[in-house]
Amino acid sequence: MTGQAFFVLTALADEPRHGYGIVGEVAELSGGRVRLKIGSLYGVLDRLAAEGLIEPDREEAHDGRLRRYYRLTRDGRGALAEEAELRAATARVVRVKLGLAGAEAAG
């Protein structure tokens, strides 16, 4: 799973969001490191929808324009949990190798 897809799925983990809402949430989740462009976002959304990991939730009119909300599917939730576990395990190994895990426990 790419970093962008991981962040998009994470942004949808707690509630359905529309396109620009996802961009904002991803920027916040990443501490401003990941700023998705709309072209990149819809490339990711299209792929995640085709893989069955997200689906449209509802459409709302806002100031005369359409906002389509997306939510995680059951498969999407599973894939995100699996990816998060994998990344956490990798991070644990890195911390041990850097000698940070022991220092933190002691601190």
List residues near other proteins by CB under 8 A: 2, 18-21, 23, 37-43, 45-47, 50-51, 62-68
- Which residue's CB is nearer to other proteins, number 33 or number 68? 68
- Residue written as token pair 């990711």: 44
- Residue written as token pair 């929808």: 49
Instruction: Report the nearest approach of other proteins to the CB of residue 95 (Å).
Output: 27
Tokens of 46: 């299209």
Instruction: Report the nearest approach of other proteins to the CB of residue 93 (Å).
Output: 24
Instruction: Report the nearest approach of other proteins to the CB of residue 37 (Å).
Output: 4
In 3D space, the residue among 61, 75, 70, 14 whose CA is nearest the CA of residue 41 turns out to be: 70
Q: Which residues of 3-12 are buried (b: 16+ CB within 10 A; e: fewer)?
A: ebbbbbbbbb
- Which residue's CB is nearer to other proteins, number 66 or number 86? 66
- Which residue's CB is nearer to other proteins, number 13 or number 43? 43
The Cα–Cα gap between 75 and 35 comes to: 26
- Which residue's CB is nearer to other proteins, number 73 or number 95? 73
